[in-house]
Amino acid sequence: MIEVDVRLTLGVFTLDVAFENGQGVTALFGQSGSGKSLTLGLIAGLMRPDQGYIKLDGEALVDVAQGVFVRMHRRRIGLVFQDSNLFPHLSVRQNLLFGRWFAPRGDREIDFDAVIETLGIGKLLSRPPARLSGGERQRVAIGRALLSSPKLLLFDEPLAALDMERKLEILPLIERLRDEFKVPMVYVSHAIEEVVRLAACIVVIEAGRVKAIGSPGEVFGAMATQSAEDRFDRSSVLTMKVCGANAAYGLTELKHPSGTVWLAGPAGPIGGEARIIINATNVVLSLQPPHNLSVRSVLSGSVEAVETSGPLATVEIALKGEGHLFAMATRHALDELGLERGSPVFALIKTSALDERKMGAVTRL
Amino acid sequence: MLDFSPSALADLSPAEWTAIWLSLRIATVATIASLPFGIFTAYALARWRFPGKTIVNGIVHLPLVLPPVVTGFILLILLGRKGVFGAFLADIGIVLSFRWTGAAVACAVMGFPLMVRAMRLSFEAIDRRLELAAGTLGASRIWTFFLVSLPLAIPGIVVGAILAFAKALGEFGATITFVSNIPGETQTISAAIYTYTQVPGGDESAMRLTVVAIAIALVALIASEIIQRMAEKRVASIE
């Protein structure tokens, strides 16, 4: 259980955030410069807030009013940086054991071999960090933080410095750590696909303030209606049920009360849940179910709102059952189809646009 | 005639040998004794913020810009038998003036700015986030210093120590002012060469000691190069 309520002024920037979360992964989501990394720094104890408190499992790490400030090395909070920050003069094994050595003997709950196994770094143990690839380095950094048996594990954009392939390799590892080792995590990122995939609770931070808190569906559904600095970034998050697989074609069938979405590739065990992110530019609107079209993923609902900007319009569709979906179309098309608030509509989604990185398989929430 | 051959070493007189051994002893003691202070000062200047930092930095660097004779005279005022601290030290049995230990103090003071400069640069070059990472992993500041900062600064510490050692070997002005030029006690290679050049027929002795001085300097430089390369390999930065 992490409770944060802090204020800090640095020059012209003011951070004023409050949130709390009990279980699993809390994501701090926002643009760079929004103050999310600063918040992480305050939790880790890298600096002090001007006012407020941070509590972990009811114990104050910092409480300005009470004059409490626990030094960072006594907080037992692991931090994984954007660039791994491995100690260059120590071997991988020595790096991994660094934090473990400082953990009180009785608290070394995390098993060394289990971490090595999960992260797949067994063969790297005797190497110096200089002889690791970027992805390997980050895996070791995650292992190092985890092996200090922290009460809370912080991630500061851990994948931002990696290429897409490495991201896809490490993201599932973080998911496994979350599920296997049960360490609560706070994950900072500006990448929507990462936070949707990992987090149970998303705290949206903008200009030093909390703008929204909630589950990925709640947060991103609401956010898209409020701001759209970049309309091509407007996405919807849907939670769907994994229903079956078409092995012959390598597809996974995801069910929603409003229809079916086919996904290229696996999405976790059948019966589990998966979150998908659908970019508004990949949605086509139709008045009828599609015929003679290549599209196989269709969701139905009714138009809830239309927002125009120049020749384009964003349509918010209330899906049957639950959830909202955004679609981009030209104003011209909407007028010809006669789409307005309340019109029933079919949303056609290109399966090929739902690539793996936009897909979050969340099975054990 | 000038003789640079190794066999010239065999011709070294006992007095010349004494000067060589004394020089090496003084330089070694001066370097080793000032090492902890140098490391501490360099780290403090590199990492801490404290009032009067500029003044401390200035005082550390003063011997570099002051005429050595002035530094020597200040040492005499402070640490001489009747000096401000010297009188107290004499009471507890430590006499520095006109002793080889005093020469070591003079050499240490003269080499200190060079030592601190090299080490400070090395500490400043360490990525702060490595120290923060150590902190989040549970290492207190002292542990972080000994497990992360110090090992990573080894190349600079080696360079600083070698520079101080070289400076100590060559020190002349401050030493001769503070502890004079007493054969067998405070007469280093430099002082001995100076003395030989002042007496008729001393040129040969001066030349032999010059060859020795060059040899020692070369060995020190090559050793530092090797140690530094080894240390740098060990702490090769990740890019």
pLDDT category, B2, cuts 50, 70, 90? low
In this structure, are A267 and A203 located in the same domain? no
Q: Are A78 and B129 within 8 A, CB to CB?
A: no
- CB proximity B129 to A under 8 Å: yes
On the question of pLDDT at A362 being above 50, the answer is no
* Residue A296 main-chain phi, psi, to 5 deg: -115, -15
pLDDT of residue A226: 46
Q: Is A187 found in the same domain as A246?
A: no
| Overall average pLDDT of the A41-64 stretch | 92
The per-residue pLDDT for A365 is 33
3-state DSSP call for residue A287?
coil
Assess whether A135 and A182 both reside in one domain.
yes
B135 touches chain A (CB under 8 A): yes
Q: pLDDT tens digit string along A91-106?
A: 999 999 999 889 888 7
* Domains in chain A, number: 2
Lowest-pLDDT range, A36-40, A351-355, B152-156, B184-188?
A351-355
Contacts of B147 in chain A (CB under 8 A): 87, 98
Q: Are residues A20 and A118 in the same domain?
A: yes
Range of the domain at A158: 2-214
Q: Considering only CB atoms, which chain B residues are within 8 Å of A99?
A: 136-138
ipTM confidence score:
0.80
pLDDT the model gives residue A191: 83
> ∠ at Cα B75 (B73, B76), nearest 5°?
60
Same-domain status, A350 and A313: yes
Assess whether pLDDT exceeds 50 at residue A228. no
| A78 and A21 co-located in one domain | yes
Type of residue numbered A194 = E
* A98/B135 touch (CB, cutoff 8 Å), yes or no: no
What is the number of residues in chain A?
Answer: 365
CA distance B154 to chain A (A): 10
Query: Which residues in chain A have Cβ-Cβ distances shorter than 8 Å to B144?
Result: 73
Say if A267 falls within a structural domain.
yes
* The CATH number of domain B12-232, selected from 1.10.10.10, 2.20.28.270, 3.40.50.2000, 1.10.3720.10: 1.10.3720.10
Residue A219 lies in a domain: no
CATH number of residue A299's parent domain: 2.40.50.100
Question: In degrees, to the nearest 5, what angle opens at C-alpha A185 toward C-alphas A183 and A188?
Answer: 160
Which of A40, A47, A71, A72 should one mutate to test binding to chain B, selecting the residue with the greatest count of B CBs within 10 A?
A72
Residues of A in contact with B132 (CB under 8 A): 46, 72, 79, 85
CB contact under 8 A, A71 and B140: yes
Q: Find the CATH number of the domain harbouring A29.
A: 3.40.50.300
**Does a structural domain hold residue A222?**
no
Which of these three, A187, A214, A241, is where a domain ends?
A214
Give the gap in angstroms from C-alpha A87 to the nearest C-alpha of chain B: 7
Residue A79 has its nearest CB partner, among B136, B148, B151, at B136
| Helix (H), strand (E) at residue B7 | helix B7-10
Cα distance between residue A195 and residue A212, in whole Å: 14
List chain A residues with CB under 8 Å of B133. 79, 81, 85, 87
Per-residue pLDDT tens digits for B16-49: 888 899 999 999 999 999 999 999 999 999 999 8
